[in-house]
Amino acid sequence: MKEHLPFIGMIKAMTFAVKQFRLYSQNHPITQQALAALNLEMQKFFETRPRVNLGSMRKLLVINGAIISEKESSVHELAKEFDRLGIEALTLEKGVDVAEMSIFLGLMAIPTKLLEQKGGFRKNYEQNPLPHIKLVSGRYELVGEGEAVLSQKEETPSSSAPVSAAPAPPRTRWPGRPRFPSVRPRSPAGASAVPAASGPAEFP
Q: What is the pLDDT of residues 151-165, one digit of tens each?
A: 765 333 333 333 333
Q: CA 195, CA 185: separation in Å to the nearest integer?
A: 10
By mean pLDDT, which of 38-42, 106-110, 142-146 is the weakest? 142-146
Q: Give the confidence band of 142 by pLDDT, cuts at 50, 70, 90.
A: confident
Instruction: Could you list the beta-strand ranges (E) of the chain.
Output: 51-57, 60-63, 66-67, 89-93, 133-136, 138-144, 147-152
User: What pLDDT, on the 0 to 100 scale, is given for residue 3?
Assistant: 52
From residue 84, give the alpha-carbon distance in Å to each of 10, 103, 108, 112, 116: 20, 18, 9, 8, 11
Say if pTM beats, i.e. exceeds, 0.75.
no
Give the residue among 8, 160, 19 at the shortest CA–CA distance from 80: 19
For range 196-202, the mean pLDDT? 44
Residue 175 has pLDDT above 80, yes or no: no
Q: CA 155, CA 190: separation in Å to the nearest integer?
A: 37
User: What pLDDT, on the 0 to 100 scale, is given for residue 97?
Assistant: 93
User: What pLDDT, on the 0 to 100 scale, is given for residue 124?
Assistant: 94
User: What pLDDT, on the 0 to 100 scale, is given for residue 155?
Assistant: 36
User: What pLDDT, on the 0 to 100 scale, is given for residue 116?
Assistant: 92
User: What pLDDT, on the 0 to 100 scale, is given for residue 40?
Assistant: 95
Q: CA 93, CA 50: separation in Å to the nearest integer?
A: 6
CA angle 86/88/89 to nearest 5° reads: 135
Q: What is the pLDDT of residues 25-65, one digit of tens each?
A: 999 999 999 999 999 999 999 999 999 999 988 888 898 88
